Amino acid sequence: MVDHVIKRLCATVFFLALALPATGAGPAYKLTASLPLGSPDRWDYVVFDPATQRVYIAHENAVTVVDATTLSITGQLDGLNGAHGTAPVPALGKVFADSGKDGTVTDYDARTFAAHATIKAVGDADGMIYDPASSQVVVLGGDAAAAGFIDPRTDQLSATLPLGGSPEGVAVDGEGKMFVALADRDQVAVVDTRARRVLARWKLPGCHDPHGAALDARSGRLFISCPAGQMAVIDTGNGRQTALLPIGKGSDSAAFDPSRHLALSGDGDGTLGIVAETAAGVRSLGTVPTMPGARTMAVDPENGRVFLVTASVAGTKPPKTAGGRPRLTFVPGTLRLLVYTPERPAR
């Protein structure tokens, strides 16, 4: 009976997502595409590469590659063991993907998707990012509480940096600074990517277990999404938290849309959280209904399209810890990429 009710609720949310605008005064988004990705269904990061117009979706033992222009699957990065992060390096014609269970990173040919090399990196390899300022691929290890720095030209691990906490979301400013959410410390670690050292650790009052990280380098604002339903806003000039605004619950990712000056969060409760930059500062614009479980996302900075991933809900499991939230279970083989498009162009 419970499963039947859950399925009906999920169907209702799906149709609302097609029709409803944002619940606040913000922009409206419309579900414009839903692309089946197939098994396996245990997914993690969604990465958009503007240079190649590709979306990379990590799920279990592979990364599915989607052409964002045609919204069709163009290939797959195979042979992974616990796929989490992806870091495209288009200038070298490469894309890097990690295996969390092995603590390794694999270098793939971005054209043929053939694997070139496998690099021993950090334990529990998770999120990844390419830092253009230092020309390094950075892989974050959750259990290792460290960052591994890889030279993408030589496929060599150059250094390992202890972070002092378990890393989740990451953003770089293009000038040599990297901002890493430390989930078990309720902090942000600020890293000098050229010197490969931690410059500072900023506290996040009111934000427990921070996950998503998005940056507007131009305004000097860092946005950190918190699973309990908040987005923290930090001044990157002094590390001070300037706002803590409401979003949906269960966030695992954040992204910034520079054309619309919006910080977005992918929320597992089936919402897209929206925080806007205004002349007076920042404010919450409410949420847009999406689909339950759609907690990881990426945004196309040119047109504002939002890419989310989830699967059809089968039911729920009890919380892992007392007082925790019930966990969704999903129907095997129903993983799909959802594309939400702003209904109005950027001003």
For the stretch 132-171, pLDDT in tens is: 999 999 999 999 999 999 999 999 999 999 999 999 999 9
Task: Using the predicted structure, report yes or no on whether residue 175 has a pLDDT greater than 60.
Answer: yes
The per-residue pLDDT for 326 is 72
Among 219, 134, 225, 210, residue whose Cα is nearest residue 172: 134
The per-residue pLDDT for 56 is 98
CB burial string 201-214: b at 16+ within 10 A, e below: bbebeebebbbbbb
Q: Are strands 29-36 and 104-109 parallel, antiparallel or unpaired?
A: unpaired
Mean of the pLDDT values across residues 88-108?
98
* Unique residue bearing structure tokens 């931690």: 198
The per-residue pLDDT for 347 is 61
Task: Using the predicted structure, report yes or no on whether residue 308 has a pLDDT greater than 90.
Answer: yes
User: How far apart are alpha carbons 118 and 156 in whole angstroms?
Assistant: 9
The per-residue pLDDT for 266 is 98
Evaluated on CA atoms 321, 324, 326, 329, the torsion sign reads negative
Cα distances (Å, whole numbers) of residue 292 to 6, 102, 193, 324: 10, 30, 36, 17
Write out the chain in H/E/C secondary structure: CHHHHHHHHHHHHHHHHHHCCCCCCCCCEEEEEEEECCCCCCEEEEEEECCCCEEEEEEECEEEEEECCCCEEEEEECCCCCEEEEEEEHHHCEEEEEECCCCEEEEEECCCCCEEEEEECCCCEEEEEEECCCCEEEEEECCCCEEEEEECCCCEEEEEEECCCCEEEEEECCCCEEEEEECCCCEEEEEECCCCEEEEEEECCCCCCCCEEEEECCCCEEEEEECCCEEEEEECCCCCEEEEEECCCCEEEEEEECCCCEEEEEECCCEEEEEEEECCEEEEEEEEECCCCCCEEEECCCCCCEEEEECCEEEEECCCCCCCCCEEEECCCCCEEEEEEECCCCC
Evaluated on CA atoms 261, 130, 172, 204, the torsion sign reads positive
The per-residue pLDDT for 9 is 37
| Mean pLDDT estimate for the chain | 91
| Percent over 90 (pLDDT), the chain | 84
For the stretch 243-287, pLDDT in tens is: 999 999 999 999 999 999 999 999 999 999 999 999 999 999 999
The per-residue pLDDT for 327 is 81
Among 86, 73, 80, residue whose Cα is nearest residue 38: 73
| Percent over 70 (pLDDT), the chain | 90
The per-residue pLDDT for 18 is 33
Task: Using the predicted structure, report yes or no on whether residue 74 has a pLDDT greater than 60.
Answer: yes
Task: Using the predicted structure, report yes or no on whether residue 19 has a pLDDT greater than 50.
Answer: no
The per-residue pLDDT for 82 is 97
Structural tokens at position 315? 């039911």
**What's the fold here for domain 41-163?**
Methylamine Dehydrogenase; Chain H (2.130.10)
The per-residue pLDDT for 3 is 38
Structural tokens at position 139? 């892989």
Task: Using the predicted structure, report yes or no on whether residue 213 has a pLDDT greater than 70.
Answer: yes
91-98, long-range: CB < 8 A, 24+ apart: 92/152, 92/153, 94/152, 95/49, 95/56, 96/128, 96/130, 96/137, 96/139, 96/150, 96/152, 97/56, 97/58, 97/63, 97/128, 98/125, 98/126, 98/128, 98/139
Query: Residue ranges of the domains in the chain?
Result: 1-36+204-347, 41-163
Residue 26: pLDDT band with limits 50, 70, 90:
low
Residue 319: pLDDT band with limits 50, 70, 90:
confident
| Dihedral Cα 338, 325, 188, 296, nearest 10 deg | -10
Evaluated on CA atoms 114, 119, 124, 125, the torsion sign reads negative
